[in-house]
Chain A
Amino acid sequence: MKFTEGSEIRDTRAPEGPIEDRWEKRKFAAKLVNPANKRKLNVIVVGTGLAGGSAAATLGELGYNVKSFCYQDTPRRAHSIAAQGGINAAKNYRGDGDSIYRLFYDTVKGGDFRARESNVYRLAQVSVNIIDQAVAQGVPFAREYGGLLDTRSFGGAQVSRTFYARGQTGQQLLLGAYQALERQVAAGTVEMFTRHEMLDLIVADGRARGIIVRDMVTGEIERHTADAVVLASGGYGNVFFLSTNAKGCNTTAIWRAHERGAYFANPCYTQIHPTCIPVSGEYQSKLTLMSESLRNDGRVWVPLRKGDERAPGDIPDDERDYYLERIYPAFGNLVPRDIASRAAKNVCDEGRGVGPGGLGVYLDFRDAINRLGRDAVEKKYGNLFEMYERITGENPYDVPMRIYPAVHYTMGGLWVDYDLQSTIPGLFVIGEANFSDHGANRLGASALMQGLADGYFVLPTTLGDYLAAGPFGEVDEQAVAEAELKVRSKIDRLLAVNGTRTPDSFHRELGKLMWDYCGMERTEESLRKALDRIPELRKEFWENVKVSGTAEELNQVLEKAGRVADFFDLAELMCLDALVRSESCGGHFRAESQDSEGEALRDDESFAHVSAWEYSPDGEPVLHKEPLEYEYVKMTQRSYK
């Protein structure tokens, strides 16, 4: 795939001066909209997860006229609900040396020096307000006997700053945002559109002015215009077909905005979580995460010998390879996510993997049970063991768990400036859908923090600054009609093929290809193969897909087909981005770029930049580089040995 290089991005609109003052400065400089005018300004928010739900609720409270859209039957189902672990905040309630600066430092370092300092510092500053807000809403965080909030430690940090609500922190925070949103629906400031899917962005006179949506129940194509559009439609991990994302998660909203001119930044940055339940058969439809905390007491191993088919209990200790403990004696089973994931892949590639297809490693609690007793292990991990048994039918107290890495988060997304505004004026992008704060690797418990920071605190200020120049008047009818026509013709095209393969079968094949060639480890050769194969498969899709039913009804096959079509185009850009970035950084591991011990090797000389891709209808995307400068955190190479 060819590409050209365009101009550098120099201005991200971050204020100058000491980093701790920048957000204050930006807030003060932001223009205000008087309450009477707010009612005349219309804002569209797409997606109702932590970012979109909190944004729509807050904008409604401020008095704007908000329309909120989600594809589920109610806003409370967005996939933020599945986040287990917790939410980081620099409260320093433990007095263990935490601070805004330390959270900022950990996040920049954890992101392997590929995130913007100004954005990350603001995230750390705002993190403390999120906890206050959530508690005031009645989010039932875990508490200690003294009545104060409990915290725990999490990967990539040496302080205890993660607030949690058992293993359901995402659910409780999302319900807080959902309730705030429903309160605004009742107040009449937010109009809610459930079972509606965004299929295009309306751009008129150089501004984002609305969206085209499909009512998923009636099939009706609707136009909604506004003074600004906010995308909060989540990540694109489902390009791999199998991931820990919900089945409905997709890239369509951000991809179609990309086709309208919004740059796509760092599409190749994917996070792969090491402890998921392995694929069990060809009908597998999604993967389930097991909390990372299991690695505190479980020992990871595979048989020493290739193709050893004995039951795990029959393999004596001296014929087992506790490979994490062997390779990383200092951190052992607790190495960071990307390193644990890659090590599992390597032993499976050597033919030593366990379980069906050889794609799994053991996570063994035998020694923990002998040392602590079964009761103690049950107290700590009982619910996780039960969840595992429910899915696999195996009892982890007797047989070691089998785990394997799986895709679960995408750090890349639409490019935004400090104000969270994309390259299309009036199009703002928040939460996982943007690229801004995690660099090349996200730390645990930071996704919830970013979604809520964007929605409750950052966007309401910066969007107000943009809207102060509005309302922007009537939307050009031609632009609306053109967008609607584009949506209709795509649907017609999908229905007209009437081939012999289902959308799911194409999605499965694309996902496997992406996992094999653009997954945990990427090489120039594998990426070139993918870039050859994707266009062929896409061609077959458009010639041979079978979409049953009609456009004028609830049609889940049609919905799926449209999303798969966009995944093809995104997949191609991901592979190109991964090919061009010939260094390794964070979750992006290029086999050609490793040190003598097999660890990821960054190339700061050539790649200390954001890769922002501009869409080009002729198929040759334009690469714009945004240089990354580190004034506060010194760039270093990570080591966990």
Chain B
Amino acid sequence: MSFLEMLDVLNERLILEGDDPIAFDHDCREGICGMCGMVINGVAHGEQRATTTCQLHMRHFEDNATITIEPWRAAPFPVVKDLVVDRSAFDRIIQAGGFVSVPAGSAPDAHSIPVRKEDADAAFDAATCIGCGACVAACPNGSASLFTAAKITHLSLLPQGQPERLSRAKAMVDQMDAEGFGGCTNTGECTAVCPKGIPLDTIAQMNTDYLKANAK
């Protein structure tokens, strides 16, 4: 039985007893959509590394153990109900510049710009972020640096991302600050709980691009 199936069973019981079931976000239940997320026994997504909440299974818990479950806690993620939080701040950070401006139909042939395999692989590693928000929940400063840096790094490493590289970094970091996320002090809690293992050095890439943008 998975962790979320345990919550399903609990909720079925609560409904029949006439109580309110516990509201929680979930969708794909295979670790890729990024919708689920809760702090389990004090750790975002639970103690198992590189795992989303939906990928946790009850066999990793002892019989009769008491499990503490909390929502993500960060001021920019207001609680909507029970374990459901509002992560729309992440969408606004992407709106600020997390894209390449290319209208449909205007693209050149895909092979017109070769990309070094090493760059493509590193870009992919950063691009696997699922936007769950565990990094923010785990950070003592409530920083969204890992999330923001993952997108900046993904696009910075590819030739397609170059024209908007510096303006993107500046706009996204400024938006992150405006949303009320804290600053990064290199504690590394974010990458420790990240279900996709986004590397901490993406934050260095973000800071480099941001400084260059401000120096201009």
- Residues of chain A having any CB pair with chain B under 8 Å: 54, 57-58, 61, 72-79, 81-82, 91, 93, 129, 131-138, 140-149, 165-166, 168, 171-172, 175, 178-180, 182-183, 185-186, 192, 194, 217, 246-248, 280-281, 283-286, 288, 390-391, 393, 456-457, 460, 500, 502, 504-505, 546, 548-549, 553-554, 556-557
Closest Cβ of chain A: how far from B66's Cβ, in Å?
A: 20
B124 touches A183 (CB 8 A): no
Q: Which 6 A-B pairs have the closest CB atoms?
A: A147-B114, A136-B107, A179-B99, A186-B95, A140-B124, A132-B107
Query: Considering the chains assembled together, what is the distance between the CA atoms of A312 and B164 in angstroms?
Result: 57
Residue of B nearest to A175 (CB): B127
Query: Considering the chains assembled together, what is the distance between the CA atoms of A7 and B32 in angstroms?
Result: 45
Query: Considering the chains assembled together, what is the distance between the CA atoms of A296 and B88 in angstroms?
Result: 42
Verify if B84 is at the interface (C-beta below 8 Å from A): yes
B114 touches A146 (CB 8 A): yes
**Knowing A61-B103, A556-B23, A557-B15 touch, does A217 contact B110 (C-beta < 8 A)?**
no
Verify if B205 is at the interface (C-beta below 8 Å from A): no
Residue of A nearest to B4 (CB): A285
Closest Cβ of chain B: how far from A106's Cβ, in Å?
A: 21
Closest Cβ of chain B: how far from A280's Cβ, in Å?
A: 8
Which chain A residues border B55 with CB–CB below 8 Å?
A: 390-391
B117 touches A143 (CB 8 A): yes
B residues 24-44 touching A (CB-CB < 8 Å): 25-30, 32-35
15 A-B residue pairs with Cβ-Cβ distance under 8 Å, sorted by A, are A75-B91, A82-B33, A136-B107, A137-B100, A144-B117, A148-B114, A166-B124, A180-B99, A182-B94, A182-B95, A246-B27, A286-B30, A500-B16, A546-B16, A554-B84
A140 touches B23 (CB 8 A): no
B residues 72-119 touching A (CB-CB < 8 Å): 80-81, 84, 86-88, 90-91, 94-96, 98-111, 113-117
Query: Which of the segments B136-144, B152-160, B186-194, B208-216 contacts the partner chain?
Result: B152-160
Verify if B178 is at the interface (C-beta below 8 Å from A): no
Query: Considering the chains assembled together, what is the distance between the CA atoms of A78 and B32 in angstroms?
Result: 10
Query: Considering the chains assembled together, what is the distance between the CA atoms of A76 and B27 in angstroms?
Result: 12
Q: Contact check: which of B27, B57, B86, B101 meets A248 at CB < 8 Å?
A: B27
Verify if B9 is at the interface (C-beta below 8 Å from A): yes
Verify if B167 is at the interface (C-beta below 8 Å from A): no
**Knowing A72-B27, A246-B33 touch, does A147 contact B117 (C-beta < 8 A)?**
yes
Interface size class of B (residues with CB under 8 A): 35 or more
**Knowing A76-B131, A168-B32 touch, does A140 contact B123 (C-beta < 8 A)?**
yes
B25 touches A73 (CB 8 A): yes
B124 touches A54 (CB 8 A): no
Q: Contact check: which of A166, A246, A280 meets B28 at CB < 8 Å?
A: A246
Query: Considering the chains assembled together, what is the distance between the CA atoms of A368 and B26 in angstroms?
Result: 37
Query: Considering the chains assembled together, what is the distance between the CA atoms of A148 and B109 in angstroms?
Result: 11
**Knowing A54-B104, A72-B27, A546-B15 touch, does A138 contact B154 (C-beta < 8 A)?**
yes
A504 touches B8 (CB 8 A): yes
Verify if B204 is at the interface (C-beta below 8 Å from A): no
B120 touches A137 (CB 8 A): no
B28 touches A82 (CB 8 A): yes
B104 touches A140 (CB 8 A): no
B29 touches A91 (CB 8 A): no
Verify if B62 is at the interface (C-beta below 8 Å from A): no
Closest Cβ of chain A: how far from B2's Cβ, in Å?
A: 7
Which chain A residues border B21 with CB–CB below 8 Å?
A: 548, 556-557
B34 touches A76 (CB 8 A): yes
Give the interface centre of A57, A73, A285 by most chain B CB atoms within 10 Å: A73
Closest Cβ of chain B: how far from A370's Cβ, in Å?
A: 30
**Knowing A133-B104, A182-B98 touch, does A82 contact B160 (C-beta < 8 A)?**
no
A554 touches B81 (CB 8 A): yes
**Knowing A283-B9, A548-B18, A554-B81 touch, does A135 contact B107 (C-beta < 8 A)?**
yes
Residue of A nearest to B102 (CB): A136
B35 touches A77 (CB 8 A): yes
A82-B30, A168-B128, A247-B26 known, 5 other contacts, Cβ within 8 Å: A57-B104, A61-B104, A75-B91, A81-B32, A457-B104
Which chain A residues border B96 with CB–CB below 8 Å?
A: 186
Verify if B51 is at the interface (C-beta below 8 Å from A): yes
Query: Considering the chains assembled together, what is the distance between the CA atoms of A183 and B100 in angstroms?
Result: 9
A502 touches B111 (CB 8 A): no
Q: Contact check: which of B4, B26, B90, B103 meets A74 at CB < 8 Å?
A: B90
Q: Contact check: which of B19, B29, B80, B113 meets A554 at CB < 8 Å?
A: B80
Closest Cβ of chain A: how far from B39's Cβ, in Å?
A: 17
Query: Considering the chains assembled together, what is the distance between the CA atoms of A76 and B99 in angstroms?
Result: 13
Which chain A residues border B63 with CB–CB below 8 Å?
A: none
Query: Considering the chains assembled together, what is the distance between the CA atoms of A553 and B20 in angstroms?
Result: 11
Verify if B1 is at the interface (C-beta below 8 Å from A): yes
Which chain A residues border B46 with CB–CB below 8 Å?
A: none
Closest Cβ of chain B: how far from A103's Cβ, in Å?
A: 16
A393 touches B57 (CB 8 A): yes
Residue of A nearest to B110 (CB): A135
Query: Considering the chains assembled together, what is the distance between the CA atoms of A91 and B18 in angstroms?
Result: 58
Query: Considering the chains assembled together, what is the distance between the CA atoms of A91 and B110 in angstroms?
Result: 10
Residue of B nearest to A149 (CB): B110
Verify if B177 is at the interface (C-beta below 8 Å from A): no
Which chain B residues border A504 with CB–CB below 8 Å?
A: 8, 12
Query: Considering the chains assembled together, what is the distance between the CA atoms of A232 and B36 in angstroms?
Result: 23
Which chain A residues border B35 with CB–CB below 8 Å?
A: 72-73, 77
B99 touches A77 (CB 8 A): no
Query: Considering the chains assembled together, what is the distance between the CA atoms of A374 and B90 in angstroms?
Result: 42
Q: Contact check: which of B59, B114, B121, B128 meets A171 at CB < 8 Å?
A: B128
Residue of B nearest to A452 (CB): B104
B8 touches A82 (CB 8 A): no
B51 touches A390 (CB 8 A): yes
Residue of B nearest to A554 (CB): B81
Residue of A nearest to B22 (CB): A556
Closest Cβ of chain A: how far from B56's Cβ, in Å?
A: 9
B12 touches A171 (CB 8 A): no
B28 touches A81 (CB 8 A): yes
Contact pattern, B 177-201, Cβ under 8 Å of A = 1, otherwise 0: 0000000000000000000000000
Residue of A nearest to B55 (CB): A390
Query: Considering the chains assembled together, what is the distance between the CA atoms of A5 and B51 in angstroms?
Result: 53
Verify if B5 is at the interface (C-beta below 8 Å from A): yes
Closest Cβ of chain A: how far from B76's Cβ, in Å?
A: 14
Residue of A nearest to B111 (CB): A148
Closest Cβ of chain B: how far from A375's Cβ, in Å?
A: 21
Give the interface centre of A74, A134, A145 by most chain B CB atoms within 10 Å: A74
Q: Contact check: which of A74, A91, A557 meets B131 at CB < 8 Å?
A: A74
Closest Cβ of chain B: how far from A460's Cβ, in Å?
A: 7
Query: Considering the chains assembled together, what is the distance between the CA atoms of A182 and B95 in angstroms?
Result: 5
Which chain A residues border B4 with CB–CB below 8 Å?
A: 285
Which chain A residues border B130 with CB–CB below 8 Å?
A: 171
